[in-house]
Every structure is written in C-alpha cells, then in structure tokens.
Amino acid sequence: MSSGSSSLMWFRKGLRIHDNPALEYASKGSDFLYPVFVIDPHYMKPDPDAFSPGSSKAGLNRIRFLLESLSDLDSNLKKLGSRLLVLKGEPSEVLNRCLKEWDVKRLCFEYDTEPYYQALDVKVKGYASAAGIEVFSPVSHTLFNPADIIRRNGGRPPLTYQSFVKLVGDPSWASSPLSITLSSLPPIGSFGRCEISEVPTVEELGYEKTQQDEHSPFKGGESEALKKLRESIEKKEWVANFEKPKGDPSAFLTPATTVLSPYLKFGCLSSRYFYICLQDLYKNVKSHTSPPVSLAGQLLWRDFFYTVAFGTPNFDRMRGNKICKQIPWNDDDELLQAWREARTGFPWIDAIMIQLRKWGWMHHLARHSVACFLTRGDLFVHWEKGRDVFERLLIDSDWAINNGNWLWLSCSSFFYQYNRIYSPTSFGKKYDPNGDYIRHFLPVLKEMPKEYIYEPWTAPESIQKKAKCIIGRDYPKPVVAHDSASKECKRRMAEAYALNQKLTGLVSEEDLRNLRRKLEEDEKPEVKNKRQRKLIG
C-alpha cells in the first residue's frame, strides 16, 4: 500500500504527453502516479472466425498501430521518470481493483463520447464516487465539447456542417496557450497484488506471425505523429491551399493528404494542438483556403460528426435512427464478399479494397468510390455491412466518423443527391490514366495496356493472352453491368425516398418488406437475370 496521495491516469485514447489535461491534473500535487492502460479482450483478443487476421473488433494493422502507440507512450513516460503500466482484463473490473489496491485518491481519464466507453465510464465512476475518489475527465479528444454544442442548440445536435460551424465559433481554449510539455511526473508507487506487464507484442497477444508481402507504412505513436505534423506544417503553401475534396486518390507512394487521421483517432496527436498550429500558419501567409475545404475545416468536420453521433441514439444503424432514411437494401452476402475480397471485376474498386486490407488506409476519395459502389451506386448492399468492413480494417477507423461517412455516402443521411454516382471506371482514370495504382495493388493486371486497365473485360482475347491475364480465369468478370446496375439503384433510391417522405420517416419493418417485394417485381428482366447469374469469376 502506498502512503501519501496517489493518482491513477487511465489511458484509452489520448495516447500522448502533449496537451493532455487529464495527465497534467493527475500529476499535480500527487506523491505517486500510476499511468495505466488496460488490454481489453473485447478489442484485442484474436478472433479465428473473422474474415481477416485480428480480433472481432479490429484488424491486425490497427492492433499493431495501437501497440506501437503504446510503446512510444511508454518510452515518452520513461523520459519523465515514469512508465506505462499495462494490465489485462475487463477494464472496469481491472480499474476498480487497482483503485482499491493502490489507495488511489484521484482518477483521471480523457472523456470519450463512444457508447462503449460511456457505459464503461458509468461503472468506473460509480465505484470511484462510492469510494470517495475524485474523478477528473476532461474533454480533450475534440476541439469542442459535443454536450455543450447540443445544449446550445436546444438539446439537439446541428445536422448540417454550416449550422454547426456557425454555432460553435472559435474554441474558447484557443485564446490561452496550450500546455504542450511536462518536465517530470511523480514516481510510481508499489504495485501490491496487481499484475503489471510491459506493452505486449502482436505475437504475445496470440497472433501468428503473418507472411504479408506489404504492411501498413504508417507507424503508431505520438513521436511519429508530431514528426508528421511538423513535416506537413513546413509545407506552408500546400497547407494554405489545401482543398478537400480535391487531391489525388491514386497517389499512394506519397499520399495526397497529411495521413494524420490515425494519430487523431488514437489521440497520439491532439486535435487542439493541430488546430493551433494551423491558425499560426494561416496568420503568416497571404491567403489560405477556409472551412469546409481547408485543413482546419477537416478538424471541424471531425467535431461535427462527433457531435451528431453523440446526440443521435442508434447513430450506428438504420433501424431506430431518426436521422437515417429507411431503405430496403439487398441482403446479398456473395456481393458483399466479392467487394470485401477485391473480386468485383472492377480494377479501380478492387485495387482500393486491396490497399485497405494491406495498409489499413486509403485516400478519402477512394473511400467514397468503394462505399458508393457497395451501396447506392451498384450493388445496393446495406451500408452497415460496408461500415463493419471499414471499422475492422482501417487504422483510423473512428466510431463517429466512420458511421457518419457511411450514412453520407449511402445517401441515408446528410447528403441526398443519390443520382450523383462515382463511376467505378472513369473516376479513377481521371487521376491515373496509366493505371499505376491498379498495377501496384493488382499485379495480375500489370501487363494490361492502359486502354483496357480500367475495363479489362473489354480487351480482345489476344490482348488478354499477351497481358497474361484472362478475364474470368485470372481476374474476375464484373459482378454487375455498371450502367444498368446504377440505373436500378437510382430507381430503388427514388422509391425508398418517396416512401420515407410519405410516412414522414416512420417506416416500419413491414413497410420495407413490402417495398422490397414491389421493387423486385418491377425490376427489369435483364437486370434480374444478370443478378441471378452472379458473374463472380
């Protein structure tokens, strides 16, 4: 048992030293400080039944990124005379045991809006308050406190970006300097009976060594995040002129964005510090882009989705989500698997899905292409199914943003122009006419002449032979004919929108079943036959 006052700093996200108000408060006036991370089996335990290596919640790329971030945090804590204490188990049980064992007087952790953490925090706060332990849980993962914004908006989250930006103005903390460095931390007290370990390796968690030919090129951790931030900020002109959604989705050797999203997701980089760096840069340049397209505008988008997600029950599903259109999506596992496993027969789509699986990351316009293709563009498969694949494979998968983007791209919420569809052939060609991106991620097509690389099924047999790639044998035929499939998707979206309007959003399961039946009866025979034949090569 430690004598003197002990604080426990519980790391979840917020895996950093800079701009970490919870850590700073935990270290103030404490004789002992216990910096803790709990390996949560819910998130980290290998799942042998999942469609790719990883746990039931996360692919191996993201787990590896998290472990790298924890190792970096550990080494940064060591420089301040401390270290990271890793424990394993159900977090609320582990934490409550440590609070008691170490006679902790103060528990500090960064506030988290995700439903999973909200439920966890209720358990931990309940135990702490019953034991007379002070709890400090500041908002520092986002620029604004979502609860404040919802309060200021009459108890509802603003549902458009413009209304959000108008409402929030400048962050109140931005007028005073952020605390970026800590000179030292209090020592760690005795561990008692709590089992402490070092940051585990992927193998120690029970994962087999993978013989993957290409890993995510992005390494986790605060040190890497700050280095990437410095490199981005040094490109003053590029930052000043940054304009989303422009940028080249096929640029993979040097991505056309900052690739800071995974560091923001895990809190290796403070969004507030990033925001301050951008504001300082904007003051020192002649002109710069503005929200929504600027880099600062991207941080505001992040806060917008966090706020809507926090204020919308069932935000992560269609049923019971009052801001989501009810649409009778296909329940077609074969099409879903073809998309997920890069077997759609559309090289642009398949190359993106391979980059996702190998790197755990792709450009936002590439994400738009494959999400549109799966849902309202071609396959008419439920956005929740696509969301699950992204949630698992992306290293920057963020609960609020991932769900928000899928709602957006499937035209289920936020964006309703369902007639605007990303072409699975001409969209990529615009950026990369030679198909270098496709050749890299789909080497089976690397000999295909550029005239045919986006639509290899149109290449004469002699060309296919010469390119050593016979369509239907070495690479699949397209799972749908894009022109007729997208027409059919538009027809279905129009009918679903009409039903939602007629029933003012109160669409029941039965209404959806009836509409699905009607849509299938009205489907043109050639589309129906095509769908039934399933041209998966």
Q: Residue 261 corresponds to which amino acid? A: S
Class of domain 142-177+222-311: mainly alpha
AA letter at 298:
Q
The domain spans of the chain are 1-140, 142-177+222-311, 333-534
Q: What pLDDT is stored for residue 253 in this prediction?
A: 82
Tell the burial category of 77 from Cβ atoms under 10 Å away from its Cβ (0-12, 13-18, 19+): buried
Whole-angstrom Cα distance, residue 326 to residue 314? 13
Residue 386 has pLDDT above 90, yes or no: yes
Token match 């899928």: residue? 406
The DSSP bridge partners found for residue 35 are 9
So what's the architecture of 333-534 in CATH?
Answer: Orthogonal Bundle (1.10)
pLDDT higher than threshold 70 for residue 535: no
Distances (CA, A) of 195 to 36, 228, 425, 503, 525: 12, 35, 55, 57, 65
pLDDT recorded at residue 537: 41
- CATH assignment of 1-140, among 3.40.190.10, 3.40.640.10, 3.30.200.20, 3.40.50.620: 3.40.50.620
Longest dimension (CA), the chain: 82
Residues in the annotated binding site: 257-261, 298-305, 396-398
Residue of 174, 180, 164 whose CA lies nearest to 76: 180
Task: Write 91-98 long-range contacts (CB < 8 A, 24+).
Answer: 91/38, 91/40, 91/120, 91/124, 92/120, 92/123, 92/124, 92/127, 94/38, 95/8, 95/10, 95/36, 95/38, 95/124, 95/127, 96/123, 96/124, 96/127, 97/194, 98/8, 98/34, 98/36, 98/194
Q: How far is residue 400 CA from its own chain's centroid?
A: 8
What is the tens place of the pLDDT at every residue in 219-259?
999 999 999 999 999 999 999 999 987 889 999 888 888 99
Q: What does pLDDT average to over the chain?
A: 94
Percent with pLDDT over 90 in the chain? 88
- Tokens representing residue 190 in the block: 């005795």
∠ Cα 276 280 282 (to 5°): 115
Which pLDDT score, from 0 to 100, does residue 2 have? 43
Distance CA 80, CA 27 (A): 11
Cα–Cα separations (whole angstroms), residue 23 to 137, 146, 184, 450: 10, 21, 11, 54
Neighbours of 345 (CB within 10 A): 23
Kindly report, residue by residue over 76-104, the tens digit of the pLDDT: 999 999 999 999 999 999 999 999 999 99
Strands 32-39 and 85-88: parallel
pLDDT, tens digit, 9 for 90 and up, residues 33-77: 999 999 999 899 999 999 999 999 999 999 999 999 999 999 999
Q: What is the pLDDT of residue 505?
A: 82
What confidence score (pLDDT) does residue 524 get? 66
pLDDT exceeds 90 at position 526 = no
CA distance 92 to 107: 13
Of residues 501 and 208, more confidence is placed in 501
Secondary structure (3-state) at 183: coil
Q: For residue range 249-296, what is the model confidence (pLDDT) as tens digits? A: 999 888 888 999 999 999 999 999 999 999 999 999 999 999 999 999
Q: Is pLDDT at 416 greater than 70 in this prediction? A: yes
| Cα distances (angstroms) measured from residue 5 to each of 26, 28, 107 | 11, 11, 11
Q: At residue 213, does pLDDT exceed 80?
A: no
* pTM score, whole prediction: 0.95
Instruction: Give the annotated binding-site residues for FAD.
Output: 257-261, 298-305, 396-398
Q: What is the mean pLDDT of residues 482-507?
A: 95
User: What secondary structure does DSSP assign to 445-505, as a single string?
Assistant: GTTS-TTTTTSGGGS-HHHHHHTT--BTTTBPPPSS-HHHHHHHHHHHHHHHHHHHHHTTT
Cβ(287)–Cβ(241) below 8 Å: no
Task: Report, as an integer, the average pLDDT of 20-29.
Answer: 96
Least confident span in 24-28, 179-183, 337-341, 506-510: 179-183
For residue 211, count other CB atoms closer than 10 A to its CB.
Answer: 5
Give long-range contacts, CB 8 A cutoff, 24+ apart: 44-48: 44/205, 45/205, 45/206, 46/205, 46/206, 46/207
37 three-class SS = strand
Strand partners of residue 107: 8, 135
> Residues 73, 15: contact at Cβ < 8 Å?
yes
> Do the beta carbons of residue 220 and residue 69 sit within 8 Å?
yes
